[in-house]
Amino acid sequence: MTTSAVKNNLLPPGLVSNLQQVLLSRKGGEDEQSKKNGDDSADKSSSTSPSDKNEPNSDKDDLRHIVLVTNGDGIESPGLTYLVEALIREGLYNVHVCAPQSDKSVSGHSVTLRETVAVSSAEINGATAFEVSGTPADCVSLALSGALFSWSKPLLVISGINKGSCCGHHMIYSGVVAGAREALMSGVPSMSISLNWKKDESQDSDFKDAATVCLPLINAAIRDIEKGIFPKSCLLNVEVPTSALMNKGFKLTKQSLWRSTPSWQAISANKSAGRFMSNQQSLGMQLAQLGRDASAAGAARRLTTQRKNLEVVESVGVAGKSDFNRSVKYFRLEFLDKEQDDVDEDFDFQALQDGFVTITPISLSPHIESDVQTAALEWISSALQAEQ
């Protein structure tokens, strides 16, 4: 990746300037600063007792900038691991992690209400880390609340690196984008990062390359945040091409209308298979059925049997009659890629396919474009007149 590739990417001038400076100075002053900060960190850690290392308040004397990392794929995903390792190697940031304990990559911007969220400490060398039994939005909201960490506002929130692109309408489904959006809603600068993962082609080490490619952008963003010139009204959604190190440079893009085609497949299962599957599947289905029966009929009765060590649930109607004739169907959702009609490189999907690292600003503004507003106004006026 060359500085010339950065010059033509339509990024804000200040960010471009800082990005070029980072690229030119990475082997110079930053190495010296990293060494200096590494020595300082070692001195501080030597005076900290082991019992304090996992405590949120143990970092209150660290003067480095706080960077919060979350993701959608779960805390054990290689994308998050390589991103955190890259940030720690820089020696410039006090890295904190608050991420889902399991895969929540398509959870959208859902949050957990009226349920308890469990938080456990996690082992990530060089970082203070927690795993949360919630969504990416939960993780960021909790981290910024002041209830988990001793601070409530990091300098930057980074969500990623996601396994798979989040272009176009996929941003709506995306948990990794939601993590960055939740930070923006709280007034904290943020970015989400995804790798255009290809099945049977990509491998875990590609996340390391993606982290390397994004570091200059992260460093430049943090410098502009310090100066107060980083965009405050949007998050940056960064998409890294499949061959990260072979990218054509950074390119500012707009969100496209690209989306995969949802495909619902019926899963064949007879009544016996539906009732006596694996222990885990059967129990989950029976409990779900129990909840539906309870809400529909107002009661349910459990019968414990020894058959295959399963618990059989017998639903009971209002009149007390057993309902064994209820049919249950099973479906599985998959997304199928489809051809993209729009080949304009100004949009994220096409630019990513062409090998660019795309940077798409995502705003929270509810304002609708003027032509859409006008068209909607005309339709509403005509519709109301027709009704009258």
Please report, as a single letter, which amino acid is at residue 66: I
Residues 6 or more apart whose CB falls under 8 angstroms from that of 259 comprise 168, 169, 170
Phi then psi dihedrals of residue 195, to 5 deg: -105, 130
Within 10 angstroms of residue 196's Cβ, the number of other Cβ atoms is 24
The H or E element spanning position 45 is: helix 29-46
User: How much is the pLDDT for 81?
Assistant: 97
pLDDT tens sequence for the chain (388 residues): 444 444 444 455 556 555 555 455 544 444 545 455 555 544 444 333 333 444 444 555 578 999 999 999 999 999 999 999 999 999 999 999 999 999 998 899 999 999 999 999 999 999 999 999 999 999 999 999 999 999 989 999 999 999 999 998 888 999 999 999 999 999 999 999 999 999 899 999 999 999 999 999 999 999 999 999 998 889 999 999 999 999 999 999 988 887 777 788 888 865 434 443 444 444 444 444 444 444 444 433 333 333 333 333 334 445 555 566 778 888 888 877 765 665 677 889 999 999 999 999 998 876 766 676 677 777 767 777 776 6
Can you give the pTM of this predicted structure? 0.69
Phi then psi dihedrals of residue 24, to 5 deg: -80, -25
Report the SS3 class of residue 336: strand
Which architecture does CATH list for 66-260+343-372? 3-Layer(aba) Sandwich (3.40)
User: How much is the pLDDT for 313?
Assistant: 37
User: Angle between the 13-25 and 205-227 helix axes, to the nearest 10 degrees?
Assistant: 120
Residues 6 or more apart whose CB falls under 8 angstroms from that of 224 comprise 14, 15, 18, 230
Calpha distance 41→91 (Å, rounded): 9
CA distances in angstroms from 124 to 129, 160, 241, 361, listed in the order given: 6, 15, 27, 30
CB 275 within 8 A of CB 228: no
User: How much is the pLDDT for 333?
Assistant: 80
Show the DSSP H helices in 174-245 as ranges: 175-185, 205-227
User: How much is the pLDDT for 48?
Assistant: 38
Work out the angle at residue 184's Cα, subtended by the Cα atoms of residues 182 and 188, and round it to the nearest 5 degrees.
110
User: How much is the pLDDT for 198?
Assistant: 93
User: Angle between the 78-90 and 205-227 helix axes, to the nearest 10 degrees?
Assistant: 50
Report the SS3 class of residue 63: coil
User: How much is the pLDDT for 239?
Assistant: 97
User: How much is the pLDDT for 232?
Assistant: 84
